[in-house]
Amino acid sequence: MLKVLDHLEEWLITFLIGGATLIIFAAVMHRYASGLPIPGVQDWLLRRDMGWAQELCIIMFVWMAKFGAAYGVRTGIHVGVDVLINSLNERVRAKFIIFGLLAGAFFTGTIGTLGAAFVWDNGAHYAVFKALGLTMGDLHEGPTTPDLEWPTWIVYSAVPFGSALMCFRFLQVCVGFVRTGELPHHDHGKVEGVEEVVLPPPGDEDAVYRMDDDLHPDDGHRPADKNDKSGGRS
């Protein structure tokens, strides 16, 4: 189960950003192609309404931001001011870090709980009771979005789900820190797929060009015999 959760954010973010990119591309192409006086094609495009594309992409980016925040907690890419904390001794520093992680879990857990209550009262209550065939009484269906006419509680569900996942990530990082003393760290200068170049120590930058006697530059032709000091020259 944890192995699935370890990649949940990546899967969701990849799907959402990929889908939003395709939708925006299709909407832009539709807008410009509709203005081309091509018989038959122009009429067909004008009958296709893509006014919903902007609203859907906004919703997708909202969900992406919430789950991206949880991903940031897990990988340690959130910006933090830790100059003072890192100047303390190890025991005091550890206590402050644990306090900060638990405070983050408490805050996101509170937001998730309040968000779930809001979503429930905003129409999710009605939808669940209707799906189960229960008596709905005076429950209201809840508002819908302007273009897609989706129930807004579906959109707002990003708050409880994303906050709950953030809370779990804070607790997960806290447990890992207590066990190992290490926090997730992300090297912002690292680019995936690009090999790191190991620089030589200061003063040895030209070592690759030196001969065995440290007197002559290397012309790239090494002698076959290590005892041969002539550099392979005849």
pLDDT number for residue 46: 83
First-to-last C-alpha distance (Å) of the chain: 69
Question: Alpha carbon 123 to chain centroid distance?
Answer: 29
* Nearest Cα residue to 161 out of 65, 60, 62, 67: 67
Confidence of residue 202 (pLDDT cuts 50, 70, 90): low
The predicted-structure confidence for 33-66, as pLDDT tens digits, reads as follows 888 888 888 888 888 888 899 999 999 999 999 9
User: Radius of gyration of the chain from Cα atoms?
Assistant: 30
Q: How far apart are CA 66 and CA 180, in angstroms?
A: 28
pLDDT value at residue 62: 93
Confidence of residue 167 (pLDDT cuts 50, 70, 90): very high
* Sequence-distant (≥ 6) Cβ neighbours of residue 108 within 8 angstroms: 163, 164, 166, 167, 170
**Identity (one letter) of the amino acid at 231?**
G
Indicate the range of 40-54, 138-152, 167-181 predicted with least confidence: 40-54
Average pLDDT of the residues in 87-102: 92
Each domain of the chain, given as residue ranges in start order, spans: 2-180
> What DSSP line would sit under 60-95, residue for residue?
HHHHHHHHHHHHHHHHT-S----HHHHTS-HHHHHH
Residue 193 reports pLDDT greater than 70: no
> What is the reported pTM?
0.73
Which contacts (CB < 8 Å, 24+ apart) does range 87-93 have? Answer: none
User: Who has greater pLDDT, 212 or 60?
Assistant: 60
Give yes or no for residue 234 having a pLDDT over 50: no
Read off the pLDDT band of 232 (50, 70, 90): very low
